[in-house]
Amino acid sequence: MPQHMEIGSQLKSGGQHRGYDLITSDVSNGSVIKSKDIPKQRIKEHIKIAVDEHLHWRKNDIKSSVALCPLTERPLQHDWTLYCIKSRPQHHIRAAIGIILVKMSKLTLPIIPSRHRALVLHSTRDPYDMSVVETETPKAEMGSAVVRVLAAAVLTYANRVYSGRKPYLYPKSFVPGSSAVGRVVDVGQDATKLKPEQLIYFDTYVQGRDDTTALFLHGLSGGFTPGSNKLMETVWRDSTYAEYAKLPLENCFPLDEARLLGSPAEGGLGYSFSDLVYLFTISIPFGGLRDVDVKAGEKVVISPATGAFGSAAVFSALAMGARVVAMSRTLSSLEPLKQLGFGDRIQFVQNTGDVETDVKELTKDGPADVFFDISPGAAIKSTHFKSCIQSLRRGGRVSLMGAHQELTLPTQFIMLYDITIKGKWMYTKEDMRVMINLVETGYLKLGEVGGIKTVGTFPLEEFDAAFDAASKMRGSGLQVVIVP
């Protein structure tokens, strides 16, 4: 029996190629009708779950087929619908090759298996001490939601973190992960908005509920305080590199599925799950730019404007309505940004290393309002800090989000020109809501239309290849995704 079939493909049987249709069979009366109003992507999701869970069925008579719940091994109640994919050989109807169980009303109760697959980091070593294991599926508790993970982000430095080459504090063993797109399958009793079957974006930046200084990155780092360490080591230990994950309710943001995934011909944006994962990359500079109150029409200097987060800062500032000056050591690295179609709303400047020359170029059409930096630690001696700050108007603002221990800044200029400098780590919940709204309304574009490319999509078993691909990304608007 085939293990996985794709909707619309052909099944070869007995030397004949025959198509197959999605049909529904009401368990209560055995009636069979064709289903036309279920989105194809939803059908595919449920097919995979059904095949993975080895749901039982009686094969010779479709009308008398009885599906058994994978958890209780008892027949399902009369209000369930059995979705079958049927082959059509020349002389007789053969057995269904896949079964998907969903509630008849609005597909509101998804299947929750008793066990699932998860990528577990057993210890920190180089090469990785990680493997995919089968383990008990997490259960929803107060303050949490259980989510079927559809696609999860991969950091550019994940290879160094999980091998121990970049020391981060995290428990051992645990399920690593990052921000992700998923579908809610269950919620705690205190949930007032989230419901099963909702498509959500999970934000990896977790904050303590009774202590807002307890901050950590789910699946990556235990943060900086005993409180944040406790949260990661106990209730939020396991993250999204798994088929299912238990996540904080407040970190699950509902998405407008029809708008984001729907066909452009029907008013949708036509994005994929992987496209939506880029919300993770863009959220970080988005938070820094909102922290210095970037307004429509303002001039924002972004340097460096390449790389994962620098280019995401460009996308963010443009979506906010700002004019952007994108700066880099090489103009050729800015070429992908030139294809975005924003005309004179974006300018390109080379960082020559000569402060006077660069200030003159940055201010040739007037001083800037904001300077945003999210450069790596290796840029600590770069001249762009001085040239970009000195390109600001009186009362200008600076957002520093880079990985620097110490910096030498033009303090006299900062004092004389009333420059405000703010450091920012990550973002706020309100930043997330504003960002998602910009995406859903079409102002912040994702996918190919937004200049963003997913360079690799990997299953859990190929985590090492995913980490390697992410570490080798060079350029603007690139991402790697893990699909459990």
Provide the pLDDT for residue 126: 85
Task: For CA atoms 86, 89, 95, 97, give the dihedral sign.
Answer: negative
Asked if 93 and 211 sit in the same domain, the reply is: no
CATH for 309: 3.40.50.720
Provide the pLDDT for residue 100: 41
Asked if 151 and 287 sit in the same domain, the reply is: no
Task: For CA atoms 208, 212, 218, 220, give the dihedral sign.
Answer: negative
CA distance 241 to 145: 16
Task: Specify the pairing of strand 144-153 against strand 180-187.
Answer: antiparallel
Residues in contact with 225: Cβ distance below 8 Å, sequence separation at least 6, in sequence order: 211, 213, 214, 215
Provide the pLDDT for residue 297: 97
Examine residue 431 and state whether it is found in any structural domain, yes or no.
no
Task: Please report where in the chains the tokens 């020559």 appear, as a residue.
Answer: 352
What is the distance, to the nearest Å, from the Cα of residue 309 to the centroid of all Cα atoms in its chain?
A: 14
CATH for 190: 3.90.180.10
Q: What is the mean pLDDT of the chain?
A: 83
Examine residue 228 and state whether it is found in any structural domain, yes or no.
yes
Examine residue 436 and state whether it is found in any structural domain, yes or no.
no
How many C-beta neighbours within 10 Å does residue 307 have?
20
Asked if 128 and 245 sit in the same domain, the reply is: yes
Asked if 149 and 166 sit in the same domain, the reply is: yes
Q: How many CA atoms lie within 13 A of 441 on its CB side?
A: 9
pLDDT over 80 at 62, yes or no = no
Asked if 181 and 243 sit in the same domain, the reply is: yes
What is the residue range of 413's domain? 281-423
Examine residue 435 and state whether it is found in any structural domain, yes or no.
no
Cβ atoms of 442 and 127 within 8 Å: the answer is: no
Tell me the three-class secondary structure of the chain, residue by residue.
CCCCCCCCCCEEECCEEECCEEEEEECCCCCEEECCCCCHHHHHHHHHHHHHHCCCCCCCCHHHCCCECCCCCCECCCCEEEEEEECCCCCCCCCEEEEEEEECCCCCCCCCCCEEEEEEEEECCCCCEEEEEEEECCCCCCCEEEEEEEEEECCCCHHHHHHCCCCCCCCCCECCCCCEEEEEEEECCCCCCCCCCCEEEECCEEECCCCCCCEEECCCECCCCHHHHHHHHCCCCCCCCECEEEEEHHHEEECCHHHHHCCHHHCCCCCCHHHHHCHHHHHHHHHHHHHCCCCCCCEEEECCCCHHHHHHHHHHHHHCCCEEEEEECCHHHHHHHHCCCCHHHEEEEECCCCHHHHHHHHCCCCCEEEEEECCCHHHCCCCHHHHHHCCEEEEEEEEECCCCCCCCCCHHHHHHCCCEEEECCCCCHHHHHHHHHHHHHCCCCCCHHHCCEEEEEECHHHHHHHHHHHHCCCCCCEEEEECC
Cα-flanking dihedrals φ and ψ of residue 419, to 5°? -80, 135
Examine residue 367 and state whether it is found in any structural domain, yes or no.
yes
CA distance 36 to 288: 45
CA distance 21 to 85: 6
Mean pLDDT for 142-170 is 96
Residues in contact with 354: Cβ distance below 8 Å, sequence separation at least 6, in sequence order: 383
Q: What is the pTM of this model?
A: 0.80
312: confidence class by pLDDT, cuts 50, 70, 90: very high
Final residue belonging to a domain, choices 55, 72, 103: 103
Provide the pLDDT for residue 377: 87
Examine residue 430 and state whether it is found in any structural domain, yes or no.
no
Could you give the number of structural domains in the chain? 3
Asked if 154 and 296 sit in the same domain, the reply is: no
Asked if 472 and 419 sit in the same domain, the reply is: no
Asked if 297 and 252 sit in the same domain, the reply is: no
Asked if 186 and 299 sit in the same domain, the reply is: no
Least confident of 355-359, 440-444, 472-476: 472-476
Examine residue 30 and state whether it is found in any structural domain, yes or no.
yes
Asked if 264 and 286 sit in the same domain, the reply is: no
CA distance 153 to 279: 9
- Per-residue pLDDT of 366-404, as tens digits, reads 999 999 999 988 898 999 999 999 999 999 999 999 988
Percent of the chain past pLDDT 70, that is, above it, reads 77
Final residue belonging to a domain, choices 103, 124, 146: 103
Final residue belonging to a domain, choices 374, 404, 423: 423
Asked if 36 and 70 sit in the same domain, the reply is: yes
Cα-flanking dihedrals φ and ψ of residue 75, to 5°? -60, 145
Asked if 94 and 157 sit in the same domain, the reply is: no
Which residues are 12's β-sheet partners? 17
- Per-residue pLDDT of 314-341, as tens digits, reads 999 999 999 999 999 999 999 889 888 8
Least confident of 54-63, 174-183, 315-324: 54-63
Provide the pLDDT for residue 46: 52
Query: If we measure between CA atoms, which residue out of 238, 158, 258, 141 comes closest to residue 198?
Result: 258
Residues in contact with 193: Cβ distance below 8 Å, sequence separation at least 6, in sequence order: 254
Examine residue 438 and state whether it is found in any structural domain, yes or no.
no
Task: Specify the pairing of strand 299-302 against strand 252-254.
Answer: unpaired
